[in-house]
Structure 1
């Protein structure tokens, strides 16, 4: 094993910081950063390649190190780092002392394996990594078949999205695409699209049957869906609000709709 890294100026540490901070760097290298033993274990269970792992022995006890070694492939490089160095590259408080370099999956719409009756969650122009991560957790919990992001404003493997998803970005197939490609793909596969939007023609989501091939289409909290995508969808649905506010956080709204689809399919 290499000598412990004790300088924040180490070239490997500088490279990790660039990956953490720059989406262009992540896209160019096809790599991202996963922090946390739980998240990394989930990534490995999903078959994600881990070229290197950085461990702070002061934060990760021997038992945790042993668990981590068992989860990693034999060719994963292992580096020990000082606490000061780890705190330079860590991006969350209360970290457990594990940070890894992982290879981000590269998927296209045509690569998605679909069952005969798919349930797909669609996000348009998502820009907050926390919202993306929360929707991915919902997708994992509801066992959705894919999360498709149209014209994203954040990269899918932003470290903060990975953190917010608790690693579920690796358990659910996720793809970035354009609005036009999404609509053509849904038509090709016979998937009915339901736009969640606050419009006069929208009907309560409980009026609809989600037992067939279904795509639940969500917009941003600030602007909602673009008129082009909303008008191109087969139906427009709404979650009736009984209080003063007229909408929910996008991740909460997605969870409501996704689990209604799950309920109907189980029934």
Structure 2
């Protein structure tokens, strides 16, 4: 059994931290204003702690404390304000998912990366242009982590701290360098200035088959909006247009599926 002697209790939905947590969960504007975001689940929180994220405060249910004592102990040590024991009914209010594990925390957003200082001239990068599905972005970040991509630029995309995005990354967002404060043209200009070849991923039979592309040296692939893809103008700023040739009656893939194939092709030659 977990030792509850050093953990404080919160039972009311009107508690200021509970109200703040819910607001952070639901409102992008509030997350930006405070520089905080929320995450839940034993695996995700354990990864956040091990990667050195600054934990502001946390809530745990009694069941979670008994099932994940090491994670709770880590939260108690890492939390700036504190870790609080809550009833399961309050956990249901906090949770953004069905079947919650009863572990919730508020953390500081990731430190901003100065892209110009971190560029690897022979690195491999993704540029996500106007993607709006949180689950897609999270899945892409996780796939990028799996193949060791050097970084992802997110231009005009949905909030990376959306709870669904955070959950979908399964901790990979703490490891993959993410830049989300540059516009598309600035990103392409930076890549070109670093001598990095840029490729626009398009659905076009005349574009170069990705299997015939040699991603030697620095390379960056741009993936466009889920429904509309890349605009002609955005694609024209890249050095070359590439496509995933498909068979059967399949005309296109969703952004996450396409990104996974692209990431594999980009890093397969290494």
Which TM-score applies when normalising by structure 1? 0.93
What is the aligned-residue RMSD (CA, Å)? 1.7
Number of the residue aligned with 1:15: 20
Q: Are 1:208 and 2:217 matched, yes or no? A: no
For structure 1, which segment, 125-134 or 64-73, has the greater mean C-alpha deviation from structure 2 after superposition? Answer: 64-73
CA distance in 2, matches of 1:141, 1:30: 27
Structure 1 pair 229/108, CA: closer, same or farther in 2 (3 Å)? farther
Unaligned runs of 5+ in 2: 1-5
For structure 1, which segment, 39-48 or 208-217, has the greater mean C-alpha deviation from structure 2 after superposition? Answer: 39-48
Number of the residue aligned with 2:259: 254
Correspondence for 2:107 among 59, 77, 102: 102
Correspondence for 1:43 among 41, 44, 48: 48
CA distance in 2, matches of 1:150, 1:74: 32
Q: What's the secondary structure of 2:100's corresponding residue?
A: coil
CA distance in 2, matches of 1:179, 1:248: 23
Q: What's the secondary structure of 1:51's corresponding residue?
A: strand
Correspondence for 2:268 among 253, 263, 267: 263
Q: How does 1:1-267 map to 2 (within 5 A)?
A: 1=6, 3-58=8-63, 60-62=64-66, 64-70=68-74, 72-73=77-78, 75=80, 77-110=82-115, 113-152=118-157, 154-176=158-180, 177-265=182-270
Which TM-score applies when normalising by structure 2? 0.92
Unaligned runs of 5+ in 1: none
Q: What's the secondary structure of 2:118's corresponding residue?
A: coil
Corresponding residue pairs, total: 263
Q: What's the secondary structure of 1:264's corresponding residue?
A: coil
Q: What's the secondary structure of 1:252's corresponding residue?
A: helix
Residue 129 of structure 1: how far off its partner (Å) = 0.5
CA distance in 2, matches of 1:111, 1:213: 14
Structure 1 pair 94/111, CA: closer, same or farther in 2 (3 Å)? farther
- 2:120 and 2:218 in contact (8 A); partners too: no
Structure 1 pair 49/193, CA: closer, same or farther in 2 (3 Å)? same
- Which aligned segments of 4 or more residues in structure 1 are displaced greater than 2 angstroms? 65-68, 70-76, 108-116
CA distance in 2, matches of 1:155, 1:4: 32
For structure 1, which segment, 167-176 or 199-208, has the greater mean C-alpha deviation from structure 2 after superposition? Answer: 199-208
CA distance in 2, matches of 1:231, 1:78: 51
